[in-house]
Amino acid sequence: MRLALSTPDRAETHNFASHMIVISLSLSLLLFSSHAYSGEAEFGSQGYFRAGHGLSSGSVQQCFQAPGAGAKYRLGNECDNYFDIGGFFRYNFDGDAGDTLKPYLKVEFQIEYGGAYDRQIKWLDTSNLFFEAGNFSPMTGEAKIWFGRRYDDRQDIHINDFFLFNRKGDGFGIKDLPIGFGKFAYSYMQNRTHPEITGIAVNRSIKQSMHEIRLSELPINRGGKLLLYGSYSQIHGALIAAGTSLQSVNGWGAGAVHTQENFLGGENRISLQYGKGSSRGAASPLFEGKTSIGRLTTAASAENLKKSSTIRLSEQHLIEEDHWAWMSVFLYERKLHAAFDATDQSWFSLGVRPIYFINENLRLVTELGHDRVVNHGNRTAGGLTKATFAVELAQAKGFWQRPVLRFYGTYATWSNSFAGQVGGNLYANRTSGWNAGTQIESWW
């Protein structure tokens, strides 16, 4: 495994870091000038990594994902080495006598590296670099303010690694403000994207922005809590080259996530999400990519993006017992983007990962997942089914316990309509394939 550490643009990173330091120091003096400058410092780290290697038909491991599906079932089906690692510094101020929450300042960073099994590992992104301050008073409870670059409030479906919320960008916000019947949050995020337009050298980036309001931890029933959100987004058009301008487009999104404890012996989470226009990703992804931005060269294309929409329904259920655990997933997504980029499809996904604990450290794991994609534009459909069996060595019992070392074998089969689109060149003329390998995974 080769490691090549590439770095982001130095001037951009230096300017961003300098602004963060100046603002952090200024805000620290402003917010906590009434507190004695005594307390305790705290350092910590957080991260995730997976590393391994596998084979497919005597060659480097191939992975299997249905064309048009937003994700693939991941056990024994990840073909890359990836890690993100970060750290934080937190200073907890001494509060008044009897305070249960003490004011604090916090600075956090996180960077990502990754690469396919047969490629170099490279720097991917700086996902977190932000300042946070919180616990201002008993009246505001655990409320906190933040600003900087943040990969915030991620919620994913673990067994296929699909993010219901994929919120990454530069901005500011307030979180966890108690409002009597729940908690309130507001965030503003922006991103700058270099559009990709055939035949035109684009040297200017396009700004995308998003405002979001959330109400969370709403106790609507016994053992159940609801999260509601609404967002407004905009692509800010601009002149990018002589005679070429990109159009402005706005959009909105909304959704709900309900989490229920003690449902059929476990925890259940169901979500309903909708996005339109520049929010057509329904929060995943949050912003448009460079190819999509590059399409906005005419008023007609901008109007077509405004009409585009996505609706998504998902459910996942987790049960953990003494000798076994089980996660199941259902997902339906409908994309209506035909006029803008010819995407007019439905994606259905159904999967399950049972785990049997032989003892504290040894477990048997299986995963079965099926994805079906219907292309309404050309009236074609296809499905992909993937099955994996693995043996894992773990630190302790539990579905979420990490680190684990796993040895796996995977078999996948797919429809004739997907021939040549699954498994890379190795399986270009086939409708089934396999891989086998080993992987270590951990988070902290």
Partners of 219 in the beta sheet? none
Task: Please check the confidence at residue 247 and state whether its pLDDT lies above 60.
Answer: yes
- Tell me what pLDDT residue 5 has: 38
Over 70: is that where the pLDDT of 318 sits? yes
Query: In which band, very low, low, confident or very high, does the pLDDT at 34 lie, cut at 50, 70 and 90?
Result: very low
Residue 184 and residue 165: Cα distance in Å, rounded?
Answer: 17
Amino acid 199: pLDDT = 79
State the average pLDDT over residues 274-299. Answer: 96
Q: Is the pLDDT of residue 73 over 60?
A: yes
What pLDDT is recorded for position 22?
54
Cβ neighbours of 252 (radius 10 Å): 16
Q: What CATH class is the domain 142-308? A: mainly beta
pLDDT of residue 243: 82
Residue with the larger pLDDT of the pair 137 and 442:
442
Single out the residue of 403, 410, 419 nearest to residue 385, CA to CA.
Answer: 410
Is the CA virtual torsion 275, 351, 127, 90 positive or negative?
positive
* pLDDT band for position 98 (cuts 50, 70, 90): low
Handedness of CA 59, 64, 70, 71 (dihedral sign): negative
Rounded distance between C-alpha atoms, residue 186 and residue 152, angstroms: 12
Q: Is the pTM of this model over 0.85?
A: yes
pLDDT in tens, 391-418: 999 999 999 999 999 999 999 999 999 9
For residue range 49-68, list pLDDT tens digits in order: 999 999 999 899 999 999 99
Q: Where are the domains of the chain?
A: 142-308
DSSP per residue, 336-383: EEHHHHSEEEEEEEEEEEEEEESSSSEEEEEEEEEEEEEETTTTEEEE
Q: Per residue in 348-395, pLDDT tens?
A: 999 999 999 999 999 999 999 999 999 999 999 999 999 999 999 999
